[in-house]
Amino acid sequence: MMLTSSHILATWRSGVRGRSFHAVFALGIMLLLCAWLAASFSARQPQAVALDVGLSGIRIGLTLLSLMWVQELVSKEIDRRTVFFVLAYPAPRASYLLGRYLGVMALATAATILLGVTLALIVRLAGGDYQQIHSTLIGWPYVASLAMILLDIALVTAFAFCLASFATSALLPLTLGFGFAIGARALGPVIDFLARGADGDPEFAARYSPIINMVRWFLPDLDRLDLRTWPLYGVAPEWEAVALAALAALVYTGMLLGIAVAAFNRRTFA
Amino acid sequence: MRWLYRSIWIVAALGLLMLHLLVTDALHQQPRHRVQDEMQVYLPRSAQLVSAAGDRYLAANFAVFRAFMVGTHQLQPSTYVVLANLQRDASYFNPGHEDNYYVAAAVLPWNDQVEATQTILANTQLGRPTDALPAFLYGFNQLHFLQDPVGAAKTLQLAAARMPDADTRTSLEAIASRWVTQGDLDEASRLLRIMATQTRDKAFRAYLEKRIARVDLLKQLRMAVAKWQSERGGVPTLEAMVARGYLAGMPVDPLGAEIVLDQQGNPLAVAKKARGGQ
């Protein structure tokens, strides 16, 4: 337990001292610009568009950041063999891996808070004097959306950790992790599209439905964790579905971390 | 010798400078080929989703931004088809997107894309259950484009039952009863005026104002034809109506279409390349 917490602290320090927080700052500025510009495209709902694009920016930006942290703080340590110094201590390897994971998640949480506050300010300022008819909800609905984005990031990060535990290339967790995130987020809309009859093409639906039904057992449905219709349009989510989605994400994350620890324990470092 | 080299360099530099000035001027005179800014490319929904990193809300925003960038001038009929597909996809990605249904309702049904508009508005009613406007616009399209006042009134009555506040419910029910009894052009003009006052986009407002002017023009023509028919009988031509003083001059469509009378004497705005729109 003590060792895990020291790894969390070491990860946090490495993350803060490294370039990652500069990246968060740069991402924040980019987010600010994108959300601001996006608001000017809107005819009737500038604040909602700023919030919508901003939340997408946070989701994609945090994914890239957390994958970069995994690459920097785990994969490259293995690559450079600096991990040997840590593993030489009489402590389980799991404490290193889980400590690193929780450290990355602490960094991701801090980045979420920073970007979330920045976005809330942009939304307040977006649109100038124009008051949109249906106002956005920058309160608990917004906080809940950010919390669910963080859960989404926790799962994607766990996947990257799983890859890093056995990958021989430092680039693999970054590239495959991002591909996994895209696939898992697109799964929900694809299931929905097929369930609606694939735009009146029953042949297409019949051909791909069995494949997607198979895929959904392996790939998590991260679209379920996106609650933004609540802060955007005031449409509260169905809580049973949200609870199940959160539970499913936690279980999946737990499984991935379990596989990561098992693979890391068995790994032979040459 | 040194003097000769220096002279050659100076002459060469001056020559290059002269050449630069001549070429730049000649290039400036050349006609510039404009890139066709109308939307001709439609990506499948899965490709749109992947290009938005799997984020369906971002994919919806990209589609709506593209729709906005097409502009509000008279477009090719094929562009409206692409626009309709794109906005329909956006309504699947994010059924609650306010700009999407608003722009779709203002542009698409007036350009032969009624079915796509109704799909977008039906999706939006699911995504924005407490917003009365999508149901109102859906019903309006039933009234005006599909000539189904009873269906339109039913849509409004069903929407009224879902509204959380009593005022909205009463307003929708009042409009439903009016739709069954009144003409569609009055309602079209009223609706477009409301939409023009609610948008912050100047170009879009200007477009809506032209639409209002067209609807008002069609309304005046309809009245003039009705007067002709009550006084003289038969179906007039526009030229005859101008000659006999029923119209001050030949009607000019503010959106650049051609104004004609059909065989029953109903005034229509017909696109110059393809027939469609009113």
Q: Which of B111, B127, B143 is the last residue of a domain?
A: B127
For residue B275, what pLDDT is reported?
Answer: 45
Coil/strand/helix, residue B261: strand
Question: Quick check: is B242 in a domain?
Answer: yes
pLDDT digits (tens, 9 = 90+) for B78-99: 788 888 989 999 999 999 998 8
Q: Which of B127, B158, B177 is the last residue of a domain?
A: B127
Q: Is the pLDDT of residue B278 over 50?
A: no
C-alpha A136/C-alpha A55 separation (Å) is 13
**Interchain pair A182, B50: CB under 8 A:** yes
Question: Quick check: is B170 in a domain?
Answer: no
With pLDDT > 70 as the criterion, what percentage of chain A qualifies?
A: 94
Amino acid at B128: R
Domain that holds residue B237: 203-270
How far B20 CA sits from the closest chain A CA (Å)? 39
For residue B172, what pLDDT is reported?
Answer: 77
For residue A105, what pLDDT is reported?
Answer: 95
Residue B258: enclosing H or E segment and its boundaries?
Answer: strand B258-261
Nearest by CB to A49, from B46, B53, B99: name it: B99
How far A81 CA sits from the closest chain B CA (Å)? 33
3-state secondary structure A2-50: HHHHHHHHHHHHHHHHCCHHHHHHHHHHHHHHHHHHHHCCCCCCHHHHH
Interface test with A, best of B42, B51, B115, B200 (most A CBs within 10 A): B200
Looking at the 3D structure of chain B, how many domains does it have? 2
Domain spans in chain A, listed from the N-terminal domain onward: 2-266
**Interchain pair A56, B61: CB under 8 A:** yes
**Interchain pair B57, A188: CB under 8 A:** no
For residue B277, what pLDDT is reported?
Answer: 44
C-alpha B145/C-alpha B152 separation (Å) is 11
* Residue A28 neighbours by CB under 8 Å, 6+ apart: A114, A115, A118
**Interchain pair A228, B52: CB under 8 A:** no
Cβ–Cβ contacts within 10 Å for residue B68, how many?
18
Q: Is the pLDDT of residue B213 over 90?
A: no
Among all residues of chain B, which has the CA nearest to that of A44? B199
pLDDT digits (tens, 9 = 90+) for B170-209: 777 777 767 766 566 777 777 777 777 767 777 777 877 8
